Amino acid sequence: MNGKVAKEDLDSRIFDTLNIILLAICTVVIVVPLWNVIISSFSSGKALAEGGFIFWSPEFSLENYRAVFNDSNIWQAFFISVSKTTIGVVTHVFFCAMVGYGLSKKHIRGRKLYVAMGVITMFFSGGMIPTYLLIKSLGLLNSFWVYIIPALFSFYDVVILMNFFRNVPDSLEESAKIDGAGDWHIFLKIFIPLSMPAMATIALFNGVGQWNDFMTTKLYITDQSLYPLQMMLYEIIVQSQTQSMQNVGGSAVIETTTKGVQLATIVITTLPIILIYPILQRYFISGMMLGAVKE
Amino acid sequence: MKEFVIDYRRQWEIQSMIIPGIIFMIIFCYIPIYGLTIAFKNYTVIDTLSSAPWVGLENFRIIMSDKYFWDAVVNTLGISFLKLGIGFVIPIILAIMIYELNSGRFKKFVQTISYLPHFLSWIVLGGMLITWFSTTGLFNQLLLSLGVISQPQNILLDAGKYWWIAVLSDIWKEAGWGTILYLAIMSKIDPTYYEAAKIDGASRLRQIWNITLPNMKSIISLNLILTVSGLLGSNLDQTLVLMNSQNRDKAEVINSYVYRMGMSQGDFSYATAVGLGVSIVSVILLVTANKITSKLNDNQSVL
C-alpha cells in the first residue's frame, strides 16, 4: 500500500515538473520575440544594421522614436485612433445594451421576429463588395463616421447583454414601476449601473477590435488625414518591404532606418492596449464577483 | 390588427429601444445580402444596383476556368486545414497544462503572458514577423548561433515556406487566447471526480483522459463547428500584411483575391460571385460539421 502511494507521488511529481518546464518554454517563446522587438526599437541604426543581438542591444539610442515623433502624421493618426476607439466603444455598448434590454423582455410584440432577424445576421452577410457599395451610397466613404456607424451593432453582443439583463431580479424592476418609473428610466438608472461588468467585458473586446482594425480604413478611406495608427504602420511596412526587395544587395542604410521607424511605430501602436489591458482585466474580474454576491 | 396597434402603443418605450436595432440590421445586414444579386449581373461603375443587366450564371462560369481563383482556393484550404489540424488541438493541450498547475502565481503569470499576443493586430504582428525574419533579425540570428544554417536568408521571400509561416504565426498569436473558454469549463468540473479517481489509483494522465476531456466534449464540438464554418473566410488581414511579390503564388487566399478583384480592379460583379460561392460552401461546411459532431455527441446537436 505504502509503496503504491509513493509510486503515485513520484509519477505525479514527474508530471508536475515536466508540465512546469513545458509551460516555461511556452512563455519564453512568447516573451523573447516581444522583448527583442522592444530593445530593437531602442537600438541605433548601426546596431540594427549589424544585427546579432537577441536579449540586449549593443548600442541604445532614441533616434527611431525621435524620427517617428517628428512626423506630424503620427500625432494625427494617434488622435484618430483614440477618438474612433473611445467614441466607437461608448456608442456600440450603449446601442447594444439598449436593444438587448428591449429584447430581454419576453412579452414584447414581434420579439420572435426580431430575434430571428438577428440570428440570420450571425450566419449570413453580403460580404465585402455589396457592403462597400452600401457604404458608398450612404456617403460614408472618406468620412470619420464610417468607423462608428457600421460598427454600432453586433448581434453577438446583444445576445450576451440580453442574457445578463435577464438575470437581474424582477423585484427591482417591479418596485421601480410601482414608483412610476418608465422603461427608459429603469434601463438607464437601474439596469445600466447593475450591468457594468458585462458592459466592461464587451467594451474591452470591442475596444481592442476598434484599435486594431485596419480593414475599414483600407476599404473605405483614401484621405490620409483620417488614417489611424494601424493604417500608418501598414503603409510603412508595405513601403519598407518593397524598398528592401529593390535594395537586395544594395544600400543597407535605407533598410535599417525604415526598420527602426517601423519598430518604433509598432511599439507606439501596441503600447496603449498593453497598458489598458491589466486595468480592465482586474476591473471585469472583480465586477463579476460583485455580480455574483448580489444575486 | 387593432390589438396589434394597441399593444405597440402600450409598449412604445420598449419598442423605441428595439426598433433602432432592427433598422440598423435592415440597412447594414439585409441590404448587402440583397446586394449579392450583383453576382448575377454585369455591374459597371456607371450602373446602379437595379439598372445593371442580368447575366445569369456567367460570372460563375468564368470562375470555373480562372486559374488564379483555384490557386487561391488551394492556398486557403492548405493554410486553413493546417491551422485546423494543429491550431485546434494546441489550445486544448495548453488549457489542460495550465489547469494542472498547482502554483497560483505561476499559473496567473502563464495565463497573462499567453493571452498577450492576441491583443496585437495582424499589422503589428506582420511588422514584427518581417523584422524577425529579416537577414539581421532574431530568427536568422538564432539559427546562425545554433549552427542550423550558415548563411542568413529571408524566409518570408521563400514561397515554399509561406504556409508554415502563416500557420505557426497564427498559432503563436491565438493559442493562449483559445484556452480561456476551456479553462472556464474545466473550473466547473466537480473536484470529487478527481478525488475518487485518485483513490482508485488513477495516474494524472489517466485522470485527464477519463475526467477532464469527457467533460469538455460539448464545448470542443461547438468550437470545432465554428472553426470549420469559418475555414474559407479567414486569413485576410494576415495575408494582406505578409504577402509580397515573391510569395504571392502561395499566399493569395480567397478573401484577398476578392479584395484584389473587387477593390483594386473594380470588377465588382465577379468579386461578389466569388464571395457568394465561398459563403455557400461555408454554410454547407457548417451544417455538415454540426451533423457529424452531433453523431459523435450521442445525437445531441450542439447548435
Alpha helices in chain A (DSSP H): 2-41, 45-50, 63-70, 72-103, 111-123, 128-137, 155-166, 170-178, 183-186, 192-194, 196-212, 215-220, 229-246, 252-294
Q: Give the type of residue at A173.
A: E
Which residue from B22, B137, B272 is facing A129, i.e. has the nearest CB? B272
Output the pLDDT for position A256: 55
Residue B192 has pLDDT above 60, yes or no: yes
The answer to whether A240 faces chain B, any CB pair under 8 Å, is yes
Output the pLDDT for position A243: 66
Output the pLDDT for position B185: 82
DSSP category for residue B54: B
Nearest C-alpha of chain A: how many angstroms from B144?
9
Q: What share of chain B is helix, strand, coil (3-state, %, to 5)?
A: 75, 0, 25
Residue A1 has pLDDT above 50, yes or no: no
Share of chain A above pLDDT 90, in %: 36
- The string of pLDDT tens digits covering residues B1-40 is 777 777 777 788 888 999 999 999 999 999 999 988 888 8
**Residues A62, A263 contacting (CB under 8 angstroms):** no
Chain A window 207-236: which residues touch B at a Cβ cutoff of 8 Å? 208, 211-215, 218-219, 230, 233-234, 236
* CB burial of residue B118 (10 Å; 0-12, 13-18, 19+): middle
Alpha helices in B26-161 (DSSP H): 31-35, 58-64, 67-87, 89-99, 104-115, 122-133, 138-146
**Residues A228, A77 contacting (CB under 8 angstroms):** yes
- The string of pLDDT tens digits covering residues B222-238 is 888 878 877 777 678 89
The candidate with the shortest Cα–Cα distance to A188, out of A166, A205, A156, A165, is A165
The ipTM, to two decimals, is 0.85
Output the pLDDT for position A295: 29
Q: Which of A60-69, A90-99, A240-249, B6-15 has the highest mean pLDDT?
A: A90-99
Output the pLDDT for position A2: 52
- Band (pLDDT 50/70/90 cuts) for residue B124 is very high
The answer to whether B95 faces chain A, any CB pair under 8 Å, is no
Instruction: Out of A61-65, A254-258, B157-161, B285-289, pick the least confident.
Output: A254-258
Cell matching residue A92: 456600440
Residue B243 has pLDDT above 90, yes or no: no
Q: Share the mean pLDDT of chain A.
A: 83
Distance of alpha carbon A121 from alpha carbon B30, whole angstroms: 8
Output the pLDDT for position A288: 43
The verdict on a CB contact (< 8 Å) between A152 and B24 is yes
The candidate with the shortest Cα–Cα distance to B38, out of B230, B269, B303, is B269
Chain A window 273-292: which residues touch B at a Cβ cutoff of 8 Å? 273-274, 277-278
DSSP category for residue B135: T
Task: Write phi, then psi, for B41 (nearest 5 degrees).
Answer: -120, 175
Chain B window 232-291: which residues touch A at a Cβ cutoff of 8 Å? 236-237, 240-241, 244-246, 255, 258-259, 262-263, 268, 271-272, 275-276, 279, 283, 286
Distance of alpha carbon A99 from alpha carbon A118, whole angstroms: 11
Chain A window 93-152: which residues touch B at a Cβ cutoff of 8 Å? 95, 98-99, 101-103, 105, 108-110, 114, 117-118, 120-121, 123-134, 138, 150, 152
* CA atoms lying within 13 Å on the CB side of residue B92: 20
Q: Give the type of residue at B250.
A: K
* CA atoms lying within 13 Å on the CB side of residue B267: 14
- The string of pLDDT tens digits covering residues A204-219 is 889 989 999 999 999 9
- The string of pLDDT tens digits covering residues A225-273 is 999 999 999 988 887 776 666 555 444 445 556 788 888 999 999 988 8
Residue of A35, A94, A119, A129 to mutate for B, most B C-beta atoms under 10 A = A129
- The string of pLDDT tens digits covering residues B69-113 is 899 989 998 998 898 889 899 999 999 999 988 878 888 889 888
Output the pLDDT for position B248: 86
Which residue from B119, B128, B283 is facing A37, i.e. has the nearest CB? B128
Distance of alpha carbon A100 from alpha carbon A91, whole angstroms: 14
Share of chain B above pLDDT 90, in %: 19
